[in-house]
Amino acid sequence: MNIKIIILANLLVSFQAYANLFNSDQKMFTENEKNSVSVFENTVNSVVNVSSISTRSQRSSFFFDLPDSEVPAGAGSGFIWNKEGYIVTNFHVIQSGQKFQISFHNDKKVYSAKLIGVEPKKDIAVLKLIKPPEELSPIQVGRSKDLRVGQKTLAIGNPFGLDHTMTTGIVSAVGRKVKGIGGVKIHDMIQTDAAINPGNSGGPLINSRGELIGMNTQILSGSGTSSGVGFAVPVDTVKRIVPEIMKHGKVIRPGLGIGILPEHIKNRFGVEKGIVISHVDPKGGAAKAGLQGVGQDKWGNIYLGDIIIKIDGNPVDSFDDIYHALDKYKVGDSVNVEYIRDEEKENVKLKLMEL
């Protein structure tokens, strides 16, 4: 009986010593450091390394055909969207690849993934693991609508191949419009001074609660490395685009059913404001509303088509303007189009069709 009491007492002493040591270590951290450590430990398993591989045909020899070779085409980061194995990353990370490999934190195995779909104009791509690991940790999704300048940000990714690296900073600005890889500006971009370098693309930007607030996408730098000016696609955009790609394999966008004259040709005609319709799709909303494209009279003279100047009150002067004017509409919605024909302003309501 006495021996049991002694053993129990020794265990209690050992436990108390461990507890004191733990508490002593905790006191060494500031509250901000404790938060950073907690966010990293709770989020790191949701972040993945994305590698894209391209297949190249080799020149045949005189005697036999050489097999195709596989070469690295790009690398970046991504994050687990749900327990079904969907992974979100940047379009520019995977655009040159035909095969995709995913690696996880503290897991030496490499997993294959297939491409589900992309939205280049938002620089978003969705992959799906073919045979996922038994345990997946989807990222906790927050929102970006109410972000304030000065809020803490944390970025986790694979800069220069250094897997699962975390950097910290703040929200430097919100509502930025940044030219993306898809040829139009991405609106509402989050600017952060958390260090973002090559390899961070596609990785999560996280708040102090460990919630996804954006996807790290670009840096503004003369040297190609972090200069404290990084940009992330806002999570509210990601939440809108990703489910549509998962469901349809693409983003179904509404359109007016028109083509427009390129900027340099429009300028030759002396048009400074608005967009000039080059042609209309006979089955589109514009044709049904009576809008007209560039035409030619019986003598061979070319005359301008209608010049659209506003869509639901939003001025439009370029393709970029049209894209964003229609960005929040759905197929089947109606919009009011203000246009100029024969120097007279006119209005028409038209139904948006699927592009």
| Per-residue pLDDT band at 301 (split at 50, 70, 90) | confident
* Catalytic annotation present for 187: no
* Active-site pick, 163, 201, 236, 321: 201
Residues of the chain with pLDDT > 70, as a percent, come to: 88
Q: How many domains does the chain have?
A: 2
SS (H, E, C) 151-219: CEEEEEECHHHCCCEEEEEEEEEEEEEEECCCCCEEEEEEEECCCCCCCCCCCEEECCCCCEEEEEEEE
pLDDT digits (tens, 9 = 90+) for 13-63: 455 655 554 555 667 889 999 999 999 999 999 999 999 998 766 565 555
Using the CB atoms, write b or e for 151-185: b if 16+ within 10 Å.
bbbbbbbbbeeebbbbbbbebbebebebebbbebb
Do 163 and 216 share a domain, yes or no? Answer: yes
Query: Quick check: is 81 in a domain?
Result: no
pLDDT digits (tens, 9 = 90+) for 221-243: 777 777 789 999 999 999 999 99
Query: Quick check: is 8 in a domain?
Result: no
Query: Quick check: is 267 in a domain?
Result: yes
Residues of the chain with pLDDT > 90, as a percent, come to: 70
Query: Quick check: is 10 in a domain?
Result: no
pLDDT digits (tens, 9 = 90+) for 93-152: 999 889 999 999 999 999 999 999 999 999 999 999 999 999 999 999 999 999 999 999
Res. 6: pLDDT tops 60: no
* Catalytic annotation present for 123: yes
CATH of the domain at 286: 2.30.42.10
- Final residue of a structural domain among 221, 248, 275: 248
Query: Quick check: is 80 in a domain?
Result: no
Do 232 and 176 share a domain, yes or no? Answer: yes
Res. 7: pLDDT tops 60: no
pTM of the model: 0.83
Query: Quick check: is 164 in a domain?
Result: yes
* Catalytic annotation present for 103: no
Residue 347: φ, ψ to 5°: -130, 145
pLDDT digits (tens, 9 = 90+) for 175-234: 999 999 988 999 999 999 999 999 999 999 999 999 999 999 998 877 777 778 999 999
- Final residue of a structural domain among 230, 248, 266: 248
Do 241 and 314 share a domain, yes or no? Answer: no
**What average pLDDT does the chain have?**
88
Q: Which residue range(s) make up the domain with 336?
A: 254-354
* Active-site pick, 52, 123, 236, 306: 123
Q: How many residues does the chain have?
A: 355
Query: Quick check: is 350 in a domain?
Result: yes
Res. 338: pLDDT tops 70: yes
